[in-house]
Chains A and B, each alone.
Chain A
Amino acid sequence: MSFKTNLNGVLNNNRNHDFTPSNIAGFNNAPPRDASGGEYFYNYLNYGMDNLLTYSPVLGDHKLEVTVGHIFQKNTVNTGNATGTKFPDDLVDYVSAANQRDGSSGMAAYTVESFLSRVNYSYKGKYLFTAAFNREASSRFGSNNRWGSFPSASVGWRLSQESFFPKFNWLDDAKLRASYGITGNNNIGNYTSQANINTSNYVIGNTVVPGATVGSFPNTYLGWEQSKQIDIGLDLSLLKSKISFTAEFYRKLTTNMLLSVEIPAVSGFNNLITNIGKLQNKGLELGVNYRDKFNEVSVNTGFNISFNRNKVLAIDGDRNALLSGAMYDGYNISEVGKPIGMFYGFKVLGIYQNQAQINATPHNPNNIPGTYQYFDGNGDGVISYDTQDMVVIGNPNPKFTWGWNWNLGYKHFDLSMLLNGSYGGQIYWAVEMNLANIDGVFNVISDVQNRWKSEQNPGAGKWPGSNTYYFTRESNSQYVYSGNYIWIKNITLGYTIPRVKNLFDAKVFISVDNAFLFTKYPGNNPEVNAARANNGNDVISPGRDGEAYPVPRTISIGARINF
């Protein structure tokens, strides 16, 4: 029996002092200018205590370890700043010398507390078993719903050590493992469950008087997001560890997801961070690694591939879909029974060439020749200029993603390469809506010169005409592109110079980052989907590419010398 108390703390004190003297030029602003300066304080304190009681009896081939404990943690950030402008000269660079001073200060904290218990058991290293049960609370949640229960269990079975397991000289080790557990997520901002008072002043008696309004909808029931996950895995090691192979199947059921979602305006507010929905992720991950050496040639290569399928199982009792986005920015919709964050908009059927075509199909009064012909989603015979006729137009979720790395060595040379790729997902190239905007005076992509001009000169059949604003740029299937790609992310060629007279050895290399991208996607970075965060709105609004700074191709040449 042992008892361990662990007190821990991290203290981080930052202080910045800056001063911009009057004789330094600003952007488009020649000196002299108004000097400015400031003091910035940032204190971070994280402290906590773990108290763990462990019981581990000796039982021959059996190994048992039982742990119970209590953990708490508090995290506090204090900030403060004072800034000054209109310094009379550059002689004193502290804010006290400034003629105009400004400042602010703030503080934010969160706490977590948990009771934990755990059992570890193994028999001859063949059977491994772990079970745990934790109760955990976070200050970030509403006063009515702070505590969550998180049980978990895992088993491992080293098959290859069983007497009945046939002995193959090509198989070194085989292990089967399985686990089940519930994990919690409190990754939201501090104080999110609480409503605060905002300042909203007014004029009464010809004097500005203080006014107060409620800033957000209080959510005293805000609680943990919980994920129940089952994992089943197989690890194999073959041919004297030249080949290793892992396979893992998982099924993850996330409930009470923490999302910022729209709520009806009649509530007084439009958004609320709340627990909503039930999402299932199922997947298979396979990995194989091969390592060998033939005389002076060495090979090490690894390949992994991941398949994931997600499905919304429930939103909540009140609605059957979550919609995010805007008419001129693209929409994502998450509907029960379908993958999360599907692209939503008008389905383009073509471009109207003449009035007769318009009259013969479901249309809107503002359809003129040269506008998109859209699919009549609700089948009422007319196209509405809103979301009524919109349908699912694409799926941002890839069918699989993969990665492959290579390492080849020959004598003193080595060559490595890293590739990855994605297949089966789509991207909504939202920025095209702006880049193909021809209803005003804008810079546009050059393809737009092949726009529709007349029935006799219909262009490439992709770009509508310029005579109207309507039915040319709404959220539609025109902007949905395949997100398939193969990307050689890095190639490095190195040469090792052996030790020279016991003085030094060295390695020289040339390396190319983001070397080659193979894709039909017209945007700059088909990896936008990969940026989907675990939390926040990206979860329900994936794959809308508004374009960021392009990914640079970097070529570097270097040498490392050891004396």
Chain B
Amino acid sequence: MKNLYKLSFFFCFLAITPCKKSFLDLSDPTKKSAEKFYQNEEQINQTVSGAYSSLQDHVNSQYIFAEISSDNTTIQLDPSDRGQTDRVEAFEFWNVTATNVNIADLYNQPYNALYNINYALSKIEGVTGIAAQKKAQYQGELEFMRAYYYFNLVRYFGPVVLVTEPFVNASDAFKTERSPETAVYDQIIKDLTDAVTKLPKKSDYSGADVGRASRGSALGLLGKVYLTMKDYAKAKSTLEQVLTLGYSLIGQYSAVFDTNNKNNSESLFEVQYQGGNNLGEWSSFIYTFAPRGSEGAVTGFPTSRPQGWNIPTRSIIEEFEEKDVRKAVSLKEGYTSSGGTFVQIPFVNKYNHPHTIAGRTDDNWPVLRYSDVLLMLAEINNELTGPNDAYQYINQVRVRAGLVALAGLTQETFRAAIRHERRVELAFENDRWFDLKRSMTNAQMTTLLNAHGQAEKAHPSVDRSGVPFAPSDYKFDGYEALYPIPDRQIFLDRNLKQNPGY
């Protein structure tokens, strides 16, 4: 070997080029190298924005897992596309299996986002030239997002693999195990507690920073985490801090979702989109939710081909009280076709706003709203001391909706009232599945969903064009409250154990 290198020295004399150490050290000149990124504040800022950007991917499909699977929404069955049977439709009929491609997306996407979050967090400490306060803000934002992803993962899958540092060697990813739920929740609480101290108040963000996670976002999410864990005392003290941050309900329920009123005083956190241009950041929820065949009748653009997913069920339509102003904002019971006839297929209307370019809407996605905080406080106080301390919160929400204030309920009937109020106030905001899981026992949830399924089977909310039900359709067995780990992941890592029942 030694002689070989002596020899190489001789040849170097003849062939100058390869003697430079960099001769073999090439990197793609058309791309930024990840190894050389994360050097200054601008680059850290970009990685934080990149992490936010992946929240769009996340919330774009959550309706499948948190609404269609619940009693809130159903599907407009497409008889010519039976390939959806083991995709989105499986969530409506509780036929989800470990091979379902949507389950793979639900599981894979957060871990891709978490890789970026963990990578940025591992680098940020060493970056110089960032003001301490600003560095803390970036860390807080990343921790908030990490907590949000794990909160969703643990609620969908139960115990999950906990990754808080990027893997250096891919082979290490084959030896992971699912951490118990308590460990996952510990990490979520640790991140959010830290984020609360690091993030500025929403009111302290200047105009150019509107839309970033703030202290209120972290407190609101932390309160929801404690509530989910049934730690009512901590949930109460956490959410009461939100009350002092200047949030308020806005007068008109419809204005909450208005695209001219984004990030309003009721918004603790929402995922941002922008329509009306070709910059690629638009949303298109109404094109997913409007009935198939409605073409331009709902979206306003006759060339559009809406997909008819997330269709409101008869059950939620009936849930709205008679004078509830939220019903007309949240859903429509049908549309008038271009031919002038009324087609009775309901659709989610919350994200339906005028936009200038077909397929590119300006609607943000609400993640945490002040009315959610009020309803959580109502639920917590009812659990701690009964309805008397809870009315003040629930009634703010009811009065805004044009309804009479509640009074004279027992703790048990108040529970039902809260469940009802959350269902209509937060309709189609991806809360229902989690609300059912949190506020009911598994047996109660099983009873409720099977009753809903029987009703849908007997009289579907949307006509099925004669396609027969499969024997397993609408049969909810308790274990289905947790989704399966994608089978490919178990195939790759034998330490991962599947959820029971799958």
Contact = CB atoms under 8 A, between A and B. Distances in A.
B204 to A, nearest CB: 14
Q: Which of B37, B50, B54, B486 has the most CB of A within 10 A?
A: B50
A51 interface: yes
Contact of A214 (B8, B115, B471): B115
A373 to B, nearest CB: 16
A215 B50 CA distance: 11
A68 interface: yes
Interface in A450-478: 467-470
Interface string B202-223: 0000111111100000000000
Contacts of B8: 70, 115
Contacts of B35: 194-195, 218
Contacts of A204: 49, 52, 208-212, 272
B37 A212 contact: yes
Contacts of B303: none
Given A215-B34, A217-B170, A202 B50 contact: yes
Size class of the contact patch on chain A:
35 or more
Contacts of B277: 208
Interface string A25-63: 000000000000000000000000101000000000000
A562 B27 CA distance: 55
Given A201-B280, A323-B488, A265 B175 contact: no
Interface stretch (B15-23, B321-329, B338-346): B15-23
B24 interface: yes
A267 B167 contact: yes
Contact of B489 (A109, A196, A265): A265
Interface in B265-299: 272-274, 277, 279-281
A211 B170 contact: no
A9 to B, nearest CB: 12
B112 A269 contact: yes
B86 A385 contact: yes
A218 B168 CA distance: 8
Contacts of B26: 109-111, 139, 190-191
B166 interface: yes
Contact of A70 (B11, B45, B207): B11
Interface string B103-114: 010011001101
A68 B11 CA distance: 11
B170 A137 contact: no
A224 to B, nearest CB: 13
A176 B281 CA distance: 69
Contact of B170 (A208, A272, A323, A385): A272
Q: Which of A108, A110, A197, A266 has the most CB of B within 10 A?
A: A266
Interface string A427-448: 0000000000001110000000
A304 B101 CA distance: 46
Interface string B39-56: 000010111111111101
Contact of B27 (A113, A191, A317): A191
A386 B115 contact: no
B163 interface: yes
A440 B492 contact: no
Nearest to A265: B108
B299 to A, nearest CB: 21
A338 interface: no
B53 A265 contact: no
Contacts of B99: 327, 385-387
27 contacts: A106-B30, A108-B28, A109-B29, A139-B24, A146-B24, A194-B33, A194-B35, A196-B32, A204-B211, A205-B210, A206-B274, A207-B208, A214-B116, A262-B492, A264-B174, A264-B492, A265-B104, A266-B173, A266-B176, A267-B111, A269-B112, A274-B170, A366-B472, A384-B97, A385-B95, A387-B491, A469-B86
Given A70-B11, A214-B34, A440-B81, 15 more contacts: A49-B17, A70-B15, A72-B17, A111-B23, A197-B37, A208-B279, A208-B281, A210-B49, A211-B48, A213-B51, A317-B171, A323-B488, A387-B491, A439-B85, A470-B470
